[in-house]
Amino acid sequence: MTKKAKTDLETLEPVHLAPETVPEPIADHAKVNKSEEIRLEARRILDAGGSPRPRDIIEVLKSRGIEVVSPQVSQILGNMGVERRPRKKKRDAAPPRPPRAATAPTPPSDDAFTLTDLIAAKKFVEMIGSPRRAMSLLDALDKLS
Q: Which of 27-36, 43-52, 69-78 has the lowest mean pLDDT?
A: 27-36
Q: What is the pLDDT of residue 41?
A: 93
pLDDT of 35 > 70? The answer is yes
pLDDT digits (tens, 9 = 90+) for 96-110: 777 776 666 666 566
Cβ-based burial of 17 (10 A; exposed 0-12, middle 13-18, buried ≥19)? middle
Q: What is the pLDDT of residue 109?
A: 66
Average pLDDT, the chain: 78
pLDDT of 20 > 60? The answer is no
pLDDT of 2 > 80? The answer is no
The percent helix, strand, coil of the chain (3-state, each to 5) is 50, 0, 50
pLDDT of 15 > 50? The answer is no
